[in-house]
Amino acid sequence: MGVRMKVGFIGLGAMGLPMARHIVDAGHDLTVASRSRGPVDAAVGFGASEGADAKAVVAASEVTILCLPSSPHVVDVLDAAMPALGPGKIVVDTSTISPDVERGQHDRVVGAGAGYLEAPLSGGTAGAQKGTLTLMVAGEEATLEAARPALDPFAGLVVHVGGPGMGQVVKLCNNLIYAAQMLATAEATVMAQHAGVEMEQLYEILTHATGDCVAVRTRLPAEGVIPDSPASNGWAPGFMTDLMAKDLDLAIDYAAGAQVPLFTSGIVRQILGAASAAGFGREDFSAMAKVIRTLAPE
């Protein structure tokens, strides 16, 4: 291996736990903390050490990675960790949060003498498990170079996209496209099912035609067509409905401030809301198709 580092990881969810495993497998010393006991025990089981809290994780680490659900979670963790931040410390936030909130966190961490990067992720749980995630990194170039050994174990592509906040903007652009893909894929699938089209044939044609996209290839919402899709596995989440709704809220809010219209995102957000209201909030966001099915005639 290359440089051996002391790495911290806070937030061992569906993305964070496999990312943490790659860091240990790469030979780094890893200290972890998370809200739930189970993932911490799992991480200790594959070679990590447990930190008592966010402050302890940062104190033990050169680079601390955050992988948290929302802006308030990131702010709360950094509130707790601030006493341990200073020269020689780097924080990398891989969460998807408000660009404006992220800029604020950058400023206060850098103000304490530490380095700060935002590095929102794309690739879902499958990418986290394979170590092939795309990282949209914003912050100082020198800080990225210093942190690279801690990021490379779970990254397939690292792109430095600019200054504070820009990583989050790029991530929100990605997700609003993905959400729109998924709604169109769900609508087309339900229409085809209603007409009696064979789903395997639909999948074969779409993946060799101009309708091809990531949503079709990974999440065509027809049970049994794609073996590892959410629809074929009880709608188990690779990306939860509630989290995609949160990301669209962030995109819509940011676009409103910039006076950029997001027509499609407003429609998709309503369908995601209906899916959550129907009890699918913690299922994969491709469960939007179940909402559309209920609206179609028998």
Q: To the nearest 10°, report the CA torsion of 4, 148, 17, 21.
A: -40
**Where in the chain does DSSP place strands (E)?**
6-10, 29-33, 49-50, 63-66, 90-93, 115-118, 121-122, 133-139, 155-162
Residue 228: is it exposed, middle or buried by C-beta count within 10 angstroms (0-12/13-18/19+)? exposed
Catalytic residues: 171
* CA distances to 15, 94, 131, 237 from 122, in Å: 10, 10, 11, 15
Closest CA to 70 of 295, 250, 225: 250
- Vertex 180 angle, CA 176 and 186, to 5°: 145
Q: Are 160 and 141 in contact (CB under 8 A)?
A: yes
* CA distances to 20, 62, 89, 287 from 57, in Å: 13, 10, 11, 37
Q: Are 68 and 77 in contact (CB under 8 A)?
A: yes
